[in-house]
Structure 1
Amino acid sequence: MATPLTDAPAGTTGAGIDGYRAVQRLAYDCAEAVAAELRPGTTEREAAAMMRRWLTDRGVRDWLHLPFAWFGDRTAFTGFKVPLQFFPTNLRLTEGMPFILDAAPVHNGYTADIGYASSLGPNPVVDRLLDDLATHRAFIVEAVRAGRTLRQIYLDVDALMARQGYENRHRAYPFGVIAHRVGKVADARLRPHAFGFGQNALRGLLKDGIRGHREGWSPLWNPRKSSGHPATPGLWAVEPHLGFRGVGAKFEELLVVTEDGDAYWLDDDLPHVHRWADRGLYGAELTGTGAGFPAPAGTAADLSAVTEEAAA
Protein backbone atom coordinates (compact mmCIF):
# COMPACT_ATOMS: atom_id res chain seq x y z
CA MET A 1 0.00 0.00 0.00
CA ALA A 2 1.30 3.45 -0.87
CA THR A 3 2.54 5.59 1.96
CA PRO A 4 0.37 8.72 2.29
CA LEU A 5 1.73 12.21 2.53
CA THR A 6 2.88 13.08 6.03
CA ASP A 7 -0.02 15.49 6.41
CA ALA A 8 -2.57 13.65 4.26
CA PRO A 9 -6.04 13.97 5.75
CA ALA A 10 -7.31 10.73 7.31
CA GLY A 11 -10.96 11.68 6.86
CA THR A 12 -13.14 14.61 5.98
CA THR A 13 -10.92 16.83 8.12
CA GLY A 14 -7.24 16.45 8.90
CA ALA A 15 -4.01 18.16 9.80
CA GLY A 16 -3.39 21.16 7.61
CA ILE A 17 -6.52 20.83 5.49
CA ASP A 18 -7.57 24.40 6.32
CA GLY A 19 -4.13 25.60 5.21
CA TYR A 20 -4.60 24.10 1.75
CA ARG A 21 -8.11 25.52 1.50
CA ALA A 22 -6.86 28.98 2.48
CA VAL A 23 -4.08 29.10 -0.12
CA GLN A 24 -6.38 27.75 -2.83
CA ARG A 25 -8.90 30.50 -2.09
CA LEU A 26 -6.09 33.06 -2.06
CA ALA A 27 -4.97 31.91 -5.51
CA TYR A 28 -8.52 32.06 -6.93
CA ASP A 29 -9.06 35.49 -5.35
CA CYS A 30 -5.91 36.57 -7.17
CA ALA A 31 -7.16 35.20 -10.50
CA GLU A 32 -10.52 36.94 -10.14
CA ALA A 33 -8.89 40.23 -9.13
CA VAL A 34 -6.46 40.19 -12.04
CA ALA A 35 -9.15 39.07 -14.52
CA ALA A 36 -11.18 42.13 -13.51
CA GLU A 37 -8.21 44.36 -14.38
CA LEU A 38 -7.49 42.93 -17.84
CA ARG A 39 -8.06 45.30 -20.73
CA PRO A 40 -7.57 45.23 -24.51
CA GLY A 41 -3.84 45.46 -25.10
CA THR A 42 -2.78 43.70 -21.87
CA THR A 43 -0.06 41.13 -22.64
CA GLU A 44 0.34 37.66 -21.19
CA ARG A 45 3.53 38.78 -19.47
CA GLU A 46 1.77 41.74 -17.88
CA ALA A 47 -1.08 39.53 -16.63
CA ALA A 48 1.34 37.00 -15.15
CA ALA A 49 3.29 39.81 -13.46
CA MET A 50 0.04 41.21 -12.03
CA MET A 51 -0.74 37.83 -10.45
CA ARG A 52 2.74 37.48 -9.03
CA ARG A 53 2.63 40.99 -7.56
CA TRP A 54 -0.88 40.47 -6.10
CA LEU A 55 0.18 37.26 -4.36
CA THR A 56 3.52 38.52 -3.07
CA ASP A 57 1.74 41.58 -1.65
CA ARG A 58 -0.31 39.10 0.41
CA GLY A 59 2.61 37.16 1.79
CA VAL A 60 3.44 34.55 -0.85
CA ARG A 61 7.19 33.95 -0.95
CA ASP A 62 7.48 30.55 -2.64
CA TRP A 63 5.87 28.77 -5.57
CA LEU A 64 5.26 25.41 -7.13
CA HIS A 65 5.42 27.44 -10.32
CA LEU A 66 5.26 31.14 -11.09
CA PRO A 67 2.00 32.45 -12.58
CA PHE A 68 1.15 31.70 -16.20
CA ALA A 69 -1.24 33.52 -18.54
CA TRP A 70 -2.44 32.22 -21.92
CA PHE A 71 -4.49 34.26 -24.40
CA GLY A 72 -6.28 33.45 -27.64
CA ASP A 73 -5.43 30.14 -29.31
CA ARG A 74 -2.69 29.67 -26.74
CA THR A 75 -5.50 28.73 -24.30
CA ALA A 76 -5.76 25.52 -26.36
CA PHE A 77 -1.95 25.16 -26.55
CA THR A 78 -2.14 25.45 -30.33
CA GLY A 79 1.20 24.46 -31.82
CA PHE A 80 2.86 23.83 -28.46
CA LYS A 81 5.80 21.48 -28.93
CA VAL A 82 8.34 22.43 -26.25
CA PRO A 83 7.98 23.49 -22.58
CA LEU A 84 9.24 27.03 -23.24
CA GLN A 85 6.02 27.73 -25.18
CA PHE A 86 4.04 27.61 -21.92
CA PHE A 87 5.72 30.74 -20.62
CA PRO A 88 3.95 34.11 -20.99
CA THR A 89 4.49 36.06 -24.19
CA ASN A 90 3.80 39.55 -25.51
CA LEU A 91 0.52 38.43 -27.08
CA ARG A 92 -2.07 41.14 -26.41
CA LEU A 93 -5.69 40.68 -25.40
CA THR A 94 -8.46 41.80 -27.72
CA GLU A 95 -12.22 41.99 -27.15
CA GLY A 96 -13.84 38.55 -26.94
CA MET A 97 -10.50 36.76 -26.64
CA PRO A 98 -10.33 33.72 -24.32
CA PHE A 99 -7.76 33.67 -21.54
CA ILE A 100 -6.53 31.32 -18.81
CA LEU A 101 -4.76 32.42 -15.63
CA ASP A 102 -2.81 29.74 -13.75
CA ALA A 103 -1.06 30.15 -10.41
CA ALA A 104 0.58 27.78 -7.92
CA PRO A 105 1.57 29.68 -4.78
CA VAL A 106 2.98 28.24 -1.57
CA HIS A 107 1.77 30.05 1.56
CA ASN A 108 2.65 29.06 5.11
CA GLY A 109 4.01 25.84 3.64
CA TYR A 110 0.76 24.87 1.92
CA THR A 111 0.54 24.52 -1.86
CA ALA A 112 -2.28 25.25 -4.30
CA ASP A 113 -2.40 25.05 -8.08
CA ILE A 114 -5.35 26.73 -9.77
CA GLY A 115 -6.61 27.52 -13.26
CA TYR A 116 -9.13 30.23 -14.11
CA ALA A 117 -10.64 30.42 -17.61
CA SER A 118 -12.76 33.22 -19.05
CA SER A 119 -12.81 35.73 -21.91
CA LEU A 120 -12.45 39.48 -22.28
CA GLY A 121 -16.08 40.20 -22.95
CA PRO A 122 -18.65 37.74 -24.33
CA ASN A 123 -17.44 34.56 -25.99
CA PRO A 124 -20.11 31.85 -26.46
CA VAL A 125 -17.54 29.14 -27.17
CA VAL A 126 -15.75 29.79 -23.87
CA ASP A 127 -19.14 29.77 -22.14
CA ARG A 128 -19.97 26.38 -23.63
CA LEU A 129 -16.62 24.84 -22.69
CA LEU A 130 -16.95 26.11 -19.14
CA ASP A 131 -20.48 24.68 -18.90
CA ASP A 132 -19.32 21.27 -20.08
CA LEU A 133 -16.45 21.16 -17.60
CA ALA A 134 -19.04 20.68 -14.84
CA THR A 135 -19.59 17.13 -16.03
CA HIS A 136 -15.87 16.38 -15.79
CA ARG A 137 -15.69 17.62 -12.21
CA ALA A 138 -18.56 15.31 -11.26
CA PHE A 139 -17.19 12.32 -13.13
CA ILE A 140 -13.63 12.53 -11.81
CA VAL A 141 -14.53 12.52 -8.11
CA GLU A 142 -17.06 9.72 -8.61
CA ALA A 143 -14.52 7.59 -10.49
CA VAL A 144 -11.88 8.08 -7.78
CA ARG A 145 -14.42 7.05 -5.13
CA ALA A 146 -15.20 3.94 -7.17
CA GLY A 147 -11.54 2.90 -6.96
CA ARG A 148 -10.78 3.07 -10.68
CA THR A 149 -7.14 3.40 -11.62
CA LEU A 150 -5.83 6.83 -12.48
CA ARG A 151 -4.95 5.59 -15.95
CA GLN A 152 -8.49 4.34 -16.57
CA ILE A 153 -10.04 7.59 -15.32
CA TYR A 154 -7.76 9.52 -17.65
CA LEU A 155 -8.89 7.40 -20.61
CA ASP A 156 -12.53 7.78 -19.54
CA VAL A 157 -12.13 11.56 -19.39
CA ASP A 158 -10.64 11.39 -22.89
CA ALA A 159 -13.68 9.45 -24.06
CA LEU A 160 -16.07 11.93 -22.45
CA MET A 161 -14.28 14.83 -24.13
CA ALA A 162 -14.53 13.06 -27.49
CA ARG A 163 -18.26 12.50 -26.98
CA GLN A 164 -18.63 16.21 -26.25
CA GLY A 165 -16.71 17.04 -29.43
CA TYR A 166 -13.61 18.38 -27.69
CA GLU A 167 -9.88 17.73 -27.74
CA ASN A 168 -7.86 16.77 -24.70
CA ARG A 169 -5.45 19.66 -24.16
CA HIS A 170 -3.97 18.56 -20.83
CA ARG A 171 -2.18 15.98 -22.96
CA ALA A 172 0.10 18.85 -24.04
CA TYR A 173 1.34 19.44 -20.47
CA PRO A 174 4.71 17.98 -19.45
CA PHE A 175 4.24 14.20 -19.01
CA GLY A 176 0.67 14.57 -20.31
CA VAL A 177 -0.75 14.96 -16.80
CA ILE A 178 -4.36 15.67 -15.90
CA ALA A 179 -3.27 15.95 -12.25
CA HIS A 180 -0.33 15.74 -9.88
CA ARG A 181 0.16 15.40 -6.15
CA VAL A 182 0.79 18.42 -3.95
CA GLY A 183 2.05 18.50 -0.38
CA LYS A 184 3.53 20.58 2.39
CA VAL A 185 6.65 22.56 1.55
CA ALA A 186 9.18 23.09 4.32
CA ASP A 187 9.93 26.70 5.14
CA ALA A 188 13.39 27.63 3.91
CA ARG A 189 15.50 30.75 3.99
CA LEU A 190 16.26 30.36 0.29
CA ARG A 191 13.34 29.97 -2.12
CA PRO A 192 14.99 29.50 -5.52
CA HIS A 193 13.09 28.93 -8.72
CA ALA A 194 14.38 27.89 -12.12
CA PHE A 195 12.54 27.92 -15.44
CA GLY A 196 9.49 29.20 -13.58
CA PHE A 197 9.28 26.38 -11.03
CA GLY A 198 9.98 26.58 -7.30
CA GLN A 199 12.78 24.23 -6.35
CA ASN A 200 11.55 23.58 -2.79
CA ALA A 201 8.14 22.36 -3.99
CA LEU A 202 9.64 20.37 -6.85
CA ARG A 203 11.93 18.53 -4.44
CA GLY A 204 8.85 17.27 -2.61
CA LEU A 205 7.31 16.04 -5.87
CA LEU A 206 10.60 14.37 -6.79
CA LYS A 207 10.71 12.59 -3.41
CA ASP A 208 7.16 11.40 -4.01
CA GLY A 209 8.24 10.13 -7.42
CA ILE A 210 11.17 8.17 -6.00
CA ARG A 211 9.07 6.70 -3.20
CA GLY A 212 6.24 5.91 -5.60
CA HIS A 213 8.60 4.16 -8.01
CA ARG A 214 9.74 1.85 -5.18
CA GLU A 215 6.18 1.16 -4.04
CA GLY A 216 4.40 0.92 -7.38
CA TRP A 217 2.53 4.25 -7.65
CA SER A 218 3.08 7.63 -9.27
CA PRO A 219 2.51 11.23 -8.14
CA LEU A 220 1.73 12.06 -11.79
CA TRP A 221 -1.73 11.21 -13.17
CA ASN A 222 -1.48 10.42 -16.86
CA PRO A 223 -2.29 7.56 -19.30
CA ARG A 224 1.01 5.75 -18.71
CA LYS A 225 1.32 2.35 -17.07
CA SER A 226 2.80 4.01 -13.98
CA SER A 227 -0.68 5.45 -13.30
CA GLY A 228 -2.31 2.02 -13.31
CA HIS A 229 -3.36 2.26 -9.65
CA PRO A 230 -6.12 3.99 -7.65
CA ALA A 231 -5.42 7.47 -6.35
CA THR A 232 -3.09 7.44 -3.35
CA PRO A 233 -4.14 9.31 -0.18
CA GLY A 234 -3.32 12.98 -0.20
CA LEU A 235 -4.11 16.03 -2.28
CA TRP A 236 -4.16 16.10 -6.06
CA ALA A 237 -4.23 19.23 -8.25
CA VAL A 238 -6.64 18.19 -11.02
CA GLU A 239 -6.99 20.13 -14.29
CA PRO A 240 -9.15 18.74 -17.11
CA HIS A 241 -8.50 21.00 -20.10
CA LEU A 242 -10.90 21.15 -23.06
CA GLY A 243 -10.01 22.45 -26.51
CA PHE A 244 -12.20 23.37 -29.49
CA ARG A 245 -10.92 25.05 -32.68
CA GLY A 246 -8.24 27.09 -30.98
CA VAL A 247 -10.21 27.87 -27.83
CA GLY A 248 -9.29 26.22 -24.53
CA ALA A 249 -10.81 26.22 -21.06
CA LYS A 250 -10.09 24.40 -17.83
CA PHE A 251 -10.45 24.51 -14.10
CA GLU A 252 -7.77 23.39 -11.68
CA GLU A 253 -8.37 22.67 -8.01
CA LEU A 254 -7.43 20.33 -5.20
CA LEU A 255 -9.02 16.90 -4.81
CA VAL A 256 -8.67 15.22 -1.41
CA VAL A 257 -8.24 11.43 -1.30
CA THR A 258 -8.54 9.89 2.15
CA GLU A 259 -6.84 6.77 3.48
CA ASP A 260 -10.08 4.78 3.29
CA GLY A 261 -10.47 5.55 -0.43
CA ASP A 262 -13.05 8.32 -0.17
CA ALA A 263 -12.58 11.45 -2.25
CA TYR A 264 -14.00 14.96 -2.26
CA TRP A 265 -13.18 18.35 -3.72
CA LEU A 266 -11.44 20.45 -1.12
CA ASP A 267 -13.74 23.45 -1.59
CA ASP A 268 -16.97 24.28 -3.42
CA ASP A 269 -16.61 28.01 -2.74
CA LEU A 270 -14.82 28.56 -6.06
CA PRO A 271 -15.59 30.73 -9.11
CA HIS A 272 -16.41 27.94 -11.56
CA VAL A 273 -18.70 26.18 -9.06
CA HIS A 274 -20.56 29.43 -8.38
CA ARG A 275 -20.85 29.96 -12.13
CA TRP A 276 -22.44 26.53 -12.65
CA ALA A 277 -24.87 27.20 -9.80
CA ASP A 278 -25.87 30.54 -11.33
CA ARG A 279 -26.49 28.82 -14.68
CA GLY A 280 -28.54 25.99 -13.17
CA LEU A 281 -25.89 23.35 -13.84
CA TYR A 282 -25.07 22.51 -10.24
CA GLY A 283 -27.44 19.63 -9.48
CA ALA A 284 -27.10 16.18 -7.95
CA GLU A 285 -25.58 14.67 -11.08
CA LEU A 286 -22.98 17.41 -11.37
CA THR A 287 -21.80 17.40 -7.77
CA GLY A 288 -20.47 13.86 -7.97
CA THR A 289 -23.44 12.25 -6.20
CA GLY A 290 -24.85 10.58 -9.30
CA ALA A 291 -23.84 7.14 -10.55
CA GLY A 292 -22.36 6.02 -13.86
CA PHE A 293 -20.84 7.94 -16.73
CA PRO A 294 -22.49 11.38 -17.03
CA ALA A 295 -24.00 12.29 -20.39
CA PRO A 296 -22.22 15.06 -22.27
CA ALA A 297 -23.87 18.47 -22.24
CA GLY A 298 -23.30 19.17 -25.93
CA THR A 299 -21.89 17.97 -29.22
CA ALA A 300 -19.39 19.27 -31.72
CA ALA A 301 -22.23 20.07 -34.13
CA ASP A 302 -24.01 22.11 -31.47
CA LEU A 303 -20.86 24.06 -30.67
CA SER A 304 -20.09 24.60 -34.35
CA ALA A 305 -23.45 26.30 -34.67
CA VAL A 306 -22.60 28.53 -31.71
CA THR A 307 -19.25 29.39 -33.31
CA GLU A 308 -20.85 30.27 -36.65
CA GLU A 309 -23.52 32.37 -34.96
CA ALA A 310 -20.84 34.31 -33.05
CA ALA A 311 -18.90 34.95 -36.23
CA ALA A 312 -21.98 36.15 -38.15
Structure 2
Amino acid sequence: MKADLERADLDRHRRVQRLAYRCAEEVAAGLEPGVTERETTRRMRRWLLANGVDDWFHVPFAWFGDRTAFRGFRLPHQFLPTARPLAEGMPYVLDVAPIVDGYVADIGYSGCLGPNPVWERLYADLAEYRGFILDLVRRRRRFAEIYDEVDALATRQGYDNRHQVYPGRVIGHQVGRLTSRLPRVVVARSFGLRTLETIGRELVKERFEGRSPLWNNARSSDHPPTPGLWAVEPHIGFRTRTPGAVGAKFEELLVVTEDDAHWLDDDLPHVRRWAAGEVTSRA
Protein backbone atom coordinates (compact mmCIF):
# COMPACT_ATOMS: atom_id res chain seq x y z
CA MET A 1 0.00 0.00 0.00
CA LYS A 2 1.80 3.12 -1.21
CA ALA A 3 1.62 6.22 0.92
CA ASP A 4 2.32 8.58 -2.00
CA LEU A 5 -0.49 8.00 -4.44
CA GLU A 6 -0.22 9.12 -8.04
CA ARG A 7 -3.15 10.81 -9.74
CA ALA A 8 -3.66 7.78 -11.99
CA ASP A 9 -3.88 5.53 -8.95
CA LEU A 10 -6.44 7.82 -7.32
CA ASP A 11 -8.51 7.83 -10.50
CA ARG A 12 -8.58 4.03 -10.50
CA HIS A 13 -9.59 3.86 -6.83
CA ARG A 14 -12.28 6.49 -7.53
CA ARG A 15 -13.70 4.38 -10.36
CA VAL A 16 -13.90 1.31 -8.14
CA GLN A 17 -15.54 3.35 -5.37
CA ARG A 18 -18.16 4.66 -7.79
CA LEU A 19 -18.74 1.11 -9.03
CA ALA A 20 -19.32 -0.06 -5.47
CA TYR A 21 -21.79 2.75 -4.79
CA ARG A 22 -23.66 2.05 -8.03
CA CYS A 23 -24.03 -1.53 -6.88
CA ALA A 24 -25.35 -0.44 -3.48
CA GLU A 25 -27.81 2.00 -5.03
CA GLU A 26 -29.17 -0.49 -7.56
CA VAL A 27 -29.47 -3.33 -5.07
CA ALA A 28 -31.07 -1.01 -2.49
CA ALA A 29 -33.63 0.17 -5.07
CA GLY A 30 -34.73 -3.44 -5.55
CA LEU A 31 -35.08 -4.39 -1.89
CA GLU A 32 -38.52 -5.60 -0.88
CA PRO A 33 -40.20 -6.88 2.30
CA GLY A 34 -39.10 -10.42 3.06
CA VAL A 35 -35.70 -10.30 1.35
CA THR A 36 -32.98 -11.55 3.70
CA GLU A 37 -29.51 -10.28 4.44
CA ARG A 38 -28.04 -13.33 2.73
CA GLU A 39 -30.03 -12.83 -0.45
CA THR A 40 -29.10 -9.14 -0.49
CA THR A 41 -25.39 -9.92 -0.28
CA ARG A 42 -25.78 -12.50 -3.06
CA ARG A 43 -27.35 -9.81 -5.25
CA MET A 44 -24.48 -7.44 -4.52
CA ARG A 45 -21.88 -10.08 -5.22
CA ARG A 46 -23.47 -11.10 -8.53
CA TRP A 47 -23.79 -7.45 -9.61
CA LEU A 48 -20.16 -6.66 -8.85
CA LEU A 49 -18.75 -9.79 -10.48
CA ALA A 50 -20.81 -9.02 -13.59
CA ASN A 51 -19.32 -5.52 -13.65
CA GLY A 52 -15.63 -6.30 -13.56
CA VAL A 53 -14.77 -7.03 -9.91
CA ASP A 54 -12.05 -9.68 -9.70
CA ASP A 55 -11.30 -9.89 -5.95
CA TRP A 56 -12.51 -8.72 -2.54
CA PHE A 57 -11.00 -6.65 0.22
CA HIS A 58 -14.03 -8.05 1.97
CA VAL A 59 -17.17 -9.62 0.54
CA PRO A 60 -20.56 -7.85 0.72
CA PHE A 61 -22.25 -7.48 4.10
CA ALA A 62 -25.86 -6.49 4.82
CA TRP A 63 -27.39 -5.68 8.19
CA PHE A 64 -31.12 -5.18 8.77
CA GLY A 65 -33.14 -3.76 11.67
CA ASP A 66 -31.39 -3.63 15.04
CA ARG A 67 -28.40 -5.32 13.43
CA THR A 68 -27.62 -1.96 11.78
CA ALA A 69 -26.62 -0.85 15.30
CA PHE A 70 -24.66 -4.07 15.95
CA ARG A 71 -26.97 -4.83 18.85
CA GLY A 72 -25.46 -7.68 20.87
CA PHE A 73 -22.49 -8.18 18.52
CA ARG A 74 -19.54 -9.69 20.39
CA LEU A 75 -18.02 -12.30 18.07
CA PRO A 76 -16.76 -11.98 14.47
CA HIS A 77 -19.30 -14.42 13.01
CA GLN A 78 -22.15 -12.09 14.08
CA PHE A 79 -21.18 -9.66 11.30
CA LEU A 80 -21.92 -12.28 8.64
CA PRO A 81 -25.25 -12.03 6.77
CA THR A 82 -28.16 -13.92 8.28
CA ALA A 83 -31.68 -15.01 7.40
CA ARG A 84 -33.05 -11.78 8.94
CA PRO A 85 -35.85 -10.57 6.62
CA LEU A 86 -36.39 -6.93 5.74
CA ALA A 87 -39.71 -5.32 6.69
CA GLU A 88 -41.43 -1.99 6.11
CA GLY A 89 -39.88 0.77 8.20
CA MET A 90 -36.72 -1.24 8.79
CA PRO A 91 -33.26 0.34 8.34
CA TYR A 92 -30.48 -1.42 6.49
CA VAL A 93 -26.75 -1.01 5.91
CA LEU A 94 -24.95 -2.37 2.85
CA ASP A 95 -21.16 -2.62 3.07
CA VAL A 96 -18.85 -3.91 0.36
CA ALA A 97 -15.16 -3.64 -0.55
CA PRO A 98 -14.49 -4.76 -4.14
CA ILE A 99 -11.16 -4.90 -5.95
CA VAL A 100 -10.53 -4.37 -9.66
CA ASP A 101 -7.01 -5.04 -10.94
CA GLY A 102 -5.68 -4.56 -7.42
CA TYR A 103 -7.44 -1.22 -6.85
CA VAL A 104 -9.56 -1.21 -3.69
CA ALA A 105 -12.69 0.58 -2.54
CA ASP A 106 -14.59 0.08 0.72
CA ILE A 107 -18.03 1.64 1.05
CA GLY A 108 -20.96 1.75 3.46
CA TYR A 109 -24.49 2.66 2.34
CA SER A 110 -27.40 3.28 4.71
CA GLY A 111 -31.09 3.31 3.94
CA CYS A 112 -34.53 2.41 5.22
CA LEU A 113 -37.43 0.55 3.62
CA GLY A 114 -40.32 2.94 4.13
CA PRO A 115 -40.83 5.74 6.67
CA ASN A 116 -38.90 5.65 9.92
CA PRO A 117 -38.54 9.05 11.68
CA VAL A 118 -35.84 7.76 14.06
CA TRP A 119 -33.64 6.56 11.20
CA GLU A 120 -34.26 9.76 9.23
CA ARG A 121 -33.06 11.89 12.16
CA LEU A 122 -30.07 9.63 12.74
CA TYR A 123 -29.08 9.74 9.09
CA ALA A 124 -29.46 13.52 8.87
CA ASP A 125 -27.22 13.91 11.95
CA LEU A 126 -24.62 11.60 10.38
CA ALA A 127 -23.90 14.32 7.80
CA GLU A 128 -21.93 16.33 10.37
CA TYR A 129 -19.23 13.66 10.65
CA ARG A 130 -17.94 14.02 7.11
CA GLY A 131 -16.79 17.62 7.45
CA PHE A 132 -15.89 17.17 11.12
CA ILE A 133 -13.43 14.34 10.44
CA LEU A 134 -11.90 16.06 7.42
CA ASP A 135 -11.31 19.27 9.37
CA LEU A 136 -9.54 17.43 12.20
CA VAL A 137 -7.32 15.51 9.77
CA ARG A 138 -6.41 18.74 7.98
CA ARG A 139 -5.47 20.24 11.33
CA ARG A 140 -3.10 17.30 11.81
CA ARG A 141 -4.79 16.15 14.99
CA ARG A 142 -3.57 12.76 16.10
CA PHE A 143 -5.61 9.83 14.83
CA ALA A 144 -6.44 8.63 18.36
CA GLU A 145 -7.58 12.15 19.31
CA ILE A 146 -9.82 12.34 16.22
CA TYR A 147 -11.39 9.03 17.20
CA ASP A 148 -12.18 10.37 20.66
CA GLU A 149 -13.54 13.64 19.19
CA VAL A 150 -15.90 11.63 16.98
CA ASP A 151 -16.99 9.60 20.00
CA ALA A 152 -17.69 12.85 21.88
CA LEU A 153 -19.72 14.21 18.95
CA ALA A 154 -21.89 11.08 18.94
CA THR A 155 -22.47 11.48 22.68
CA ARG A 156 -23.47 15.14 22.25
CA GLN A 157 -25.96 14.09 19.59
CA GLY A 158 -27.41 11.40 21.87
CA TYR A 159 -25.98 8.43 19.96
CA ASP A 160 -23.57 5.56 20.60
CA ASN A 161 -20.31 4.96 18.78
CA ARG A 162 -20.81 1.69 16.88
CA HIS A 163 -17.53 1.55 14.96
CA GLN A 164 -16.03 0.55 18.32
CA VAL A 165 -17.68 -2.83 17.76
CA TYR A 166 -15.75 -3.54 14.54
CA PRO A 167 -12.71 -5.81 14.79
CA GLY A 168 -9.91 -3.59 16.07
CA ARG A 169 -12.45 -0.90 17.09
CA VAL A 170 -11.58 0.88 13.85
CA ILE A 171 -13.13 4.05 12.49
CA GLY A 172 -10.88 3.61 9.45
CA HIS A 173 -8.11 1.60 7.86
CA GLN A 174 -5.47 2.25 5.23
CA VAL A 175 -5.96 0.86 1.73
CA GLY A 176 -4.05 0.93 -1.53
CA ARG A 177 -3.38 -1.16 -4.60
CA LEU A 178 -2.90 -4.82 -3.72
CA THR A 179 0.04 -6.46 -5.50
CA SER A 180 0.06 -9.83 -3.74
CA ARG A 181 0.37 -12.90 -5.95
CA LEU A 182 -1.54 -15.16 -3.59
CA PRO A 183 -4.69 -16.87 -4.95
CA ARG A 184 -7.85 -14.78 -5.14
CA VAL A 185 -9.86 -16.65 -2.55
CA VAL A 186 -12.02 -15.59 0.40
CA VAL A 187 -11.10 -16.60 3.95
CA ALA A 188 -13.69 -17.26 6.69
CA ARG A 189 -16.49 -16.05 4.37
CA SER A 190 -15.26 -12.49 4.80
CA PHE A 191 -11.84 -11.23 3.65
CA GLY A 192 -9.78 -11.86 0.55
CA LEU A 193 -6.63 -13.88 1.17
CA ARG A 194 -4.52 -11.23 -0.59
CA THR A 195 -6.07 -8.59 1.68
CA LEU A 196 -5.10 -10.48 4.83
CA GLU A 197 -1.56 -11.03 3.57
CA THR A 198 -1.19 -7.33 2.77
CA ILE A 199 -2.68 -6.16 6.08
CA GLY A 200 -0.37 -8.50 7.98
CA ARG A 201 2.67 -7.15 6.15
CA GLU A 202 1.57 -3.54 6.76
CA LEU A 203 0.94 -4.17 10.46
CA VAL A 204 4.51 -5.35 10.87
CA LYS A 205 5.98 -2.52 8.78
CA GLU A 206 3.97 0.25 10.46
CA ARG A 207 4.66 -1.12 13.93
CA PHE A 208 8.39 -0.62 13.38
CA GLU A 209 7.59 3.01 12.51
CA GLY A 210 5.35 3.50 15.54
CA ARG A 211 2.13 3.59 13.54
CA SER A 212 -0.69 1.32 12.46
CA PRO A 213 -2.72 0.87 9.25
CA LEU A 214 -5.74 0.51 11.54
CA TRP A 215 -7.28 3.73 12.90
CA ASN A 216 -8.73 3.57 16.40
CA ASN A 217 -8.01 5.29 19.72
CA ALA A 218 -5.31 2.90 20.87
CA ARG A 219 -1.67 3.84 21.47
CA SER A 220 -0.78 2.56 17.98
CA SER A 221 -2.96 5.35 16.51
CA ASP A 222 -1.58 8.09 18.74
CA HIS A 223 0.25 9.83 15.89
CA PRO A 224 -0.51 12.48 13.25
CA PRO A 225 -2.46 11.34 10.17
CA THR A 226 -0.39 8.98 8.01
CA PRO A 227 -0.21 9.99 4.33
CA GLY A 228 -2.05 7.57 2.07
CA LEU A 229 -5.55 6.41 1.26
CA TRP A 230 -7.89 5.65 4.16
CA ALA A 231 -11.32 4.02 4.23
CA VAL A 232 -13.20 5.99 6.89
CA GLU A 233 -16.44 4.65 8.39
CA PRO A 234 -18.13 6.57 11.22
CA HIS A 235 -21.02 4.43 12.46
CA ILE A 236 -23.55 5.68 15.00
CA GLY A 237 -26.51 4.05 16.71
CA PHE A 238 -29.58 4.89 18.78
CA ARG A 239 -31.14 2.72 21.50
CA THR A 240 -28.42 0.19 20.82
CA ARG A 241 -29.38 -2.14 23.68
CA THR A 242 -33.05 -2.48 22.70
CA PRO A 243 -34.86 -4.47 19.99
CA GLY A 244 -35.70 -1.13 18.36
CA ALA A 245 -32.04 -0.19 17.88
CA VAL A 246 -31.22 1.83 14.76
CA GLY A 247 -27.82 2.39 13.20
CA ALA A 248 -26.40 4.29 10.23
CA LYS A 249 -22.99 4.80 8.70
CA PHE A 250 -21.18 5.96 5.64
CA GLU A 251 -17.82 4.74 4.42
CA GLU A 252 -15.65 6.27 1.75
CA LEU A 253 -12.03 6.91 0.83
CA LEU A 254 -10.04 9.80 2.30
CA VAL A 255 -6.78 11.00 0.73
CA VAL A 256 -4.21 12.13 3.30
CA THR A 257 -1.06 13.97 2.21
CA GLU A 258 1.88 15.28 4.24
CA ASP A 259 0.10 18.58 4.96
CA ASP A 260 -3.52 18.29 3.76
CA ALA A 261 -6.42 15.92 3.16
CA HIS A 262 -9.50 15.61 0.97
CA TRP A 263 -12.22 13.10 0.27
CA LEU A 264 -11.46 11.14 -2.87
CA ASP A 265 -14.87 11.92 -4.39
CA ASP A 266 -17.63 14.38 -3.51
CA ASP A 267 -20.10 12.94 -6.03
CA LEU A 268 -21.42 10.14 -3.84
CA PRO A 269 -25.01 9.19 -2.89
CA HIS A 270 -24.90 10.35 0.74
CA VAL A 271 -23.14 13.60 -0.19
CA ARG A 272 -25.78 14.40 -2.82
CA ARG A 273 -28.64 13.56 -0.47
CA TRP A 274 -27.29 15.72 2.34
CA ALA A 275 -26.48 18.61 -0.02
CA ALA A 276 -30.02 18.54 -1.35
CA GLY A 277 -31.48 18.38 2.15
CA GLU A 278 -33.14 15.10 1.24
CA VAL A 279 -33.23 12.12 3.56
CA THR A 280 -35.61 9.71 1.91
CA SER A 281 -36.79 6.56 3.58
CA ARG A 282 -36.14 4.51 0.45
CA ALA A 283 -32.54 5.92 0.23
TM-score with structure 2 length normalisation?
0.94
User: Aligned partners of 2:206 and 2:34: how far apart in 1?
Assistant: 45
User: Aligned partners of 2:193 and 2:108: how far apart in 1?
Assistant: 21
2:123 maps to a residue whose letter is L
> 1:8 aligned to 4, 11, 17, which one?
4
Mapping for residues 1-312 of structure 1, pairs under 5 Å: 5-6=1-2, 8-9=4-5, 14-186=7-179, 188=181, 190-195=183-188, 196-245=190-239, 246-258=245-257, 260-279=258-277
1:101 maps to a residue whose letter is L
Q: Can you list the C-alpha shifts for 1:54-79, whole angstroms capped at 9, x where unaligned?
A: 00001112001100000000000000
SS of residue in 2 equivalent to 1:16: helix
Tell whether the 8 Å contact from 2:3 to 2:227 is kept in structure 1 after alignment: no
User: Aligned partners of 1:131 and 1:8: how far apart in 2?
Assistant: 34
Structure 1 residue 104 displacement after superposition: 0.3
Tell whether the 8 Å contact from 1:257 to 1:263 is kept in structure 2 after alignment: yes
Structure 1 residue 186 displacement after superposition: 2.0
Q: Can you list the C-alpha shifts for 1:21-73, whole angstroms capped at 9, x where unaligned?
A: 00000000000000011000000000011000000001112001100000000
User: Aligned partners of 1:30 and 1:279: how far apart in 2?
Assistant: 23
Highest Rg: 1 or 2?
1
Structure 1 runs (4+) deviating above 4 angstroms are none
Tell whether the 8 Å contact from 2:180 to 2:198 is kept in structure 1 after alignment: no
SS of residue in 2 equivalent to 1:52: helix
Tell whether the 8 Å contact from 1:101 to 1:116 is kept in structure 2 after alignment: yes
SS of residue in 1 equivalent to 2:7: coil
1:272 maps to a residue whose letter is H
Tell whether the 8 Å contact from 1:8 to 1:15 is kept in structure 2 after alignment: no
1:250 maps to a residue whose letter is K
SS of residue in 2 equivalent to 1:254: strand
Q: Can you list the C-alpha shifts for 1:99-139, whole angstroms capped at 9, x where unaligned?
A: 00000000121000000000011212111111111111111
Q: How many residues are paired up?
A: 273
Structure 1 residue 188 displacement after superposition: 4.3
TM-score with structure 1 length normalisation?
0.85
Which runs of 5 or more structure 1 residues have no equivalent in the other structure? 282-312
RMSD between superposed Cα atoms in Å: 1.4
Structure 1 residue 201 displacement after superposition: 1.7
User: Aligned partners of 1:175 and 1:201: how far apart in 2?
Assistant: 16
Tell whether the 8 Å contact from 1:7 to 1:15 is kept in structure 2 after alignment: no
Tell whether the 8 Å contact from 1:183 to 1:204 is kept in structure 2 after alignment: no
Structure 1 residue 14 displacement after superposition: 2.4
